[in-house]
């Protein structure tokens, strides 16, 4: 306990801290899987819905089966996302009613509202393509204003490294997360398996990961076979990893109150006299406020090492 005392901690805090770190080290990694591009085929869509209920679906608006599949997913308790088409840097034929940079803010808002109205049970929005659109702050402001007004979250598919989605989402107070791995960027079994293992590695190392897949036959075959064998990693709906949910998790784990930026444990080294705000992603950890909780969650896999170092 000498190190703890030398840091100015009260000795009474040590047992609580040790219990906290052991809890963090045992906390299972969480994996959220989102199947994009749902809405064209009823048969393929029903196959997607047959995957575990924690698997979320992102539905393309105004596609032939969008309403039917979204309603079915909602009835099953699945997360339903509006998979909004956004302008890409690649000059190719985009999905119908794609939002583009030459649209006015009012036009963007009108289209997004229409898309949301067309799909039942939407909890969040993700981008379909959008490598050009998600770089443009004014256009993303228009998009986020609608998402904020509807109380939804945003999933950044990260179709470009230059995306400003997370920063703009924070400005609008929109809970937001971003994709870690595309499962089927390379549609070959070995590549799909490698991508899945990479996602599991991120989940078990960092605490969570978000995997995006598409309703290709080879992808669905892989998930139908692999998901029943999943161990150590917990499959969760993507909504459970949004910022508001991560705040609840942090409060449960560390007893942290965002409104005062103080730990419920007293005396505590996590005691700040003023509220401070951080980027919604600190090394990929979702949170709108408080880097202390982020650091603890990030350090989860090394918690036992931290404990042993203090003794």
- Over the stretch 186-207, which tens digit does the pLDDT of each residue have? 999 999 999 999 999 999 999 9
One domain, residues 15 and 44: no
Does residue 110 have a pLDDT over 90? Answer: yes
One domain, residues 153 and 269: no
One domain, residues 20 and 47: no
pLDDT class of 2 with cuts at 50, 70, 90: very low
One domain, residues 225 and 248: no
One domain, residues 169 and 263: no
How far is Cα 40 from Cα 65, in angstroms, rounded to an integer? 6
How far is Cα 177 from Cα 165, in angstroms, rounded to an integer? 9
Tell me if 37 sits within 8 A of 89, measured CB to CB: no
Does residue 64 have a pLDDT over 50? Answer: yes
More confident residue, 254 or 48: 48
One domain, residues 76 and 155: yes
Domain of residue 123, CATH code: 3.20.20.370
One domain, residues 42 and 21: no
How far is Cα 276 from Cα 290, in angstroms, rounded to an integer? 7
270 phi and psi, to 5 degrees? Answer: -95, 55
- Give the end of a domain, one of 237, 264, 281: 237
One domain, residues 72 and 131: yes
One domain, residues 181 and 258: no
pLDDT class of 91 with cuts at 50, 70, 90: confident
- Supply the range of the domain harboring residue 283: 2-27+244-310
Residues 181-191 pLDDT 10s: 999 999 999 99
Share of the chain above pLDDT 90, in %: 66
How far is Cα 112 from Cα 125, in angstroms, rounded to an integer? 10
Domain count, the chain: 2
Does residue 87 have a pLDDT over 50? Answer: yes
How far is Cα 105 from Cα 96, in angstroms, rounded to an integer? 19
- Give the end of a domain, one of 197, 215, 237: 237
- Give the end of a domain, one of 220, 237, 254: 237
**Residue 32, pLDDT score:** 98
One domain, residues 262 and 285: yes
Q: Can you tell me whether residue 178 is helix, strand or coil?
A: strand
One domain, residues 222 and 259: no
One domain, residues 177 and 82: yes
Does residue 102 have a pLDDT over 60? Answer: yes
pLDDT class of 16 with cuts at 50, 70, 90: low
Long-range pairs of 249-254 with CB within 8 A, sequence gap ≥ 24: 249/297, 250/287, 250/290, 250/293, 250/294, 250/296, 250/297, 253/20, 253/23, 253/24, 253/27, 253/293, 253/296, 253/297, 254/20, 254/292, 254/293, 254/296
């Amino acid at each position: 306990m000498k190190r703890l005392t030398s840091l100015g901690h009260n000795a009474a805090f040590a047992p609580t801290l040790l219990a906290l770190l052991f809890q963090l080290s045992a906390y299972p990694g969480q994996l959220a899987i989102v199947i994009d591009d749902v809405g064209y085929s009823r048969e393929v869509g029903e196959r997607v819905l047959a995957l575990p209920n924690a698997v979320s679906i992102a539905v393309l608006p105004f596609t032939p089966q969008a309403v039917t599949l979204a309603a079915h997913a909602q009835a099953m308790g699945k997360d339903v996302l509006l998979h909004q088409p956004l302008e890409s840097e690649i000059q190719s034929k985009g999905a119908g009613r794609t939002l583009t940079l030459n649209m006015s803010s009012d036009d963007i808002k009108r289209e997004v509202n229409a898309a949301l109205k067309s799909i039942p049970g939407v909890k969040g929005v993700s981008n379909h393509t959008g490598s050009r659109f998600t770089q443009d702050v004014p256009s993303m402001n228009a998009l986020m204003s609608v998402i904020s007004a509807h109380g939804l979250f945003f999933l950044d598919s990260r179709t470009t490294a230059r995306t400003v989605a997370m920063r703009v989402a924070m400005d609008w107070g929109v809970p937001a997360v971003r994709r870690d791995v595309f499962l089927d960027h390379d549609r070959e079994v070995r590549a799909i398996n490698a991508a899945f293992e990479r996602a599991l590695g991120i989940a078990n190392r960092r605490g969570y990961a978000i995997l995006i897949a598409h309703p290709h036959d080879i992808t669905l075959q892989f998930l139908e076979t692999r998901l029943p064998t999943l161990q150590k990693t917990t499959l969760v709906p993507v909504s459970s990893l949004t910022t508001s949910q991560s705040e609840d998790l942090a409060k449960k784990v560390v007893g942290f109150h965002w409104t005062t930026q103080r730990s419920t444990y007293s005396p505590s080294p996590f005691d700040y006299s003023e509220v401070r705000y951080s980027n919604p992603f600190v090394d990929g950890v979702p949170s709108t406020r408080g880097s202390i909780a982020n650091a603890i969650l990030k350090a989860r896999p090394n918690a036992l090492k931290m404990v042993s170092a203090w003794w």
